[in-house]
Structures are given as C-alpha cells and as structure tokens.
C-alpha cells in the first residue's frame, strides 16, 4: 500500500497509508500523542522504579515512541530494555523525511541509531537504553511474564480489527509481569471489553489532543 509523509497539527511528521486513510500517529500531533499516551500515562507509572524497566512496543513504526522513551530515560535516570515489534519496517527514505529530532530539539545521532541497528539483535543504544527490534506479526509474540509495560500502538480497529481482539490481548496479558501495565490511544468499548475478558483491570483516562479518552490496562495477577 502507498505511504506518504504528512505533517500533523503540532508540526511533527508521520506516515499516512493513503488506501486506508490511516496514520502511524495522530493527525492532531504525533509527538503530543506519544508524550501523552505512552510517556505520561505509561512510562511515568514507573518513575520510582529502582530496577530496569522492560517495555514492549506493539508497532515500532517510525520509532517515535522508542525515541522519546530513550530521551526520557536520560532525563529520569531510568534503565530501559525496549523491544519493538514490527511486521513491515519503514524505509530509510521515510526515516530521513521525519523531523522528530528538530521538533524535540535534540541530536539526530540517537534517532539514527534506533533505525540503523540490525533486527533481532540486542543493541545498547546508550548506557541506560537497550533496544531489540523484532520483525514479526503481533500474533507470533510468545513472551511470558517478560515485560513491565506495553505500548499498544497498532493501527486502529477501523482498518485492522483483528489486532484488537481477545486473542491478541491474551498474548499481551501473558507477556506482562504481574502488575504490568498496557497503554493505548484507543478508547473503543469493544477494545475495553476484550481487555477485561482476558483478565485486565481497565481504566479510562483523558485522551491526547483530538481524543476524549484513552485506555490503560493493568495485570492484577500476583
């Protein structure tokens, strides 16, 4: 499917799939969405952690969520082991067209390292941030009690409903450690019910610009 680079409302760019009229990030602000959903309501749940935090991202995509998490690891003195799962990696040409380093007023070196490192191999990007990129479908994830936090950033249920089912959320539940957290931009009732059906405790939170609500799910199993 044809993809093109577009500029979102906060000035940061994202990729649009024209056939679906679907974007990798919110058209109301790619960086704003990432900061609100995944950092404020996800990563910041672990600010007091004295142990390394293991994060699984569902949809590595442009690398924006990983990049902001890396920057926050430096600011907050957090040690993070990050795994990004992506079935269809973006191209280097697309990466070069993104403007996240300019918008975040930071050096381009680290963002480039995220995309240049090989897939399926653990890379130490900084002393505080390690990355493993895995090219596979989400249904192939078989981790058990491995992650503290999941960034669930799949394409919306409107275009890929199969990614928002009990089958997928069961895999997410298994992948999380006890008291682990999953955050997503979605607030659909069907998504919330699918999460609850597999055992998650789910709360609605204020959404990022352009969305009234988002969801955060916690694994209560001890």
Lowest-confidence range among 12-16, 106-110, 116-120?
106-110
Residue 221 pLDDT > 80? no
Whether pTM > 0.95 for this model: the answer is yes
Residue 193 pLDDT > 70? yes
Q: Tell me if residue 216 falls in helix, strand or coil.
A: strand
* 17-29 pLDDT per residue, tens: 999 999 999 999 9
Number of residues that make up the chain = 222
Residue 222 pLDDT > 70? no
Rounded-to-integer distance, Cα 53 and Cα 6, Å: 33
Res. 196 pLDDT band, cuts 50 70 90: very high
* 80-110 pLDDT per residue, tens: 999 999 999 999 999 999 999 999 999 889 9
CB atoms within 10 A of CB 123: 15
* 139-165 pLDDT per residue, tens: 999 999 999 999 999 999 999 999 999
Rounded-to-integer distance, Cα 16 and Cα 97, Å: 13
Mean pLDDT of the chain: 96
CB atoms within 10 A of CB 113: 17
Whole-number pLDDT of residue 107: 83
Whole-number pLDDT of residue 132: 98
| CB 27, CB 210: distance < 8 Å | yes
């Amino acid at each position: 499917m044809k993809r093109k680079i577009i500029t979102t409302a906060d000035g940061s760019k994202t990729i649009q799939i024209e056939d679906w009229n679907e974007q990798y990030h919110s058209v109301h602000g790619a960086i704003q969405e990432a900061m609100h959903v995944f950092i404020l309501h996800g990563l910041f749940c672990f600010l007091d952690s004295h142990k390394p935090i293991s994060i699984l991202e569902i949809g590595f995509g442009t690398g924006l969520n990983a990049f902001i998490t890396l920057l926050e690891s430096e600011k907050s003195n957090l040690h993070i082991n990050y795994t990004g799962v992506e079935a269809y990696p973006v191209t280097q040409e697309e990466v070069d067209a993104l403007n996240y380093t300019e918008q975040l007023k930071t050096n381009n070196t680290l963002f480039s390292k995220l995309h240049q490192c090989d897939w399926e191999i653990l890379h130490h990007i900084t002393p505080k941030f390690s990355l493993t990129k895995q090219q596979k479908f989400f249904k192939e994830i078989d981790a058990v009690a491995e992650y503290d936090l999941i960034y669930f950033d799949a394409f919306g249920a409107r275009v890929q409903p199969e990614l928002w089912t009990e089958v997928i959320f069961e895999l997410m539940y298994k992948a999380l450690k006890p008291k682990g957290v999953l955050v997503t931009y979605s607030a659909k009732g069907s998504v919330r019910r699918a999460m609850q059906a597999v055992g998650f405790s789910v709360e609605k939170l204020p959404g990022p610009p352009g969305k009234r609500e988002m969801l955060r799910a916690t694994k209560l199993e001890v």
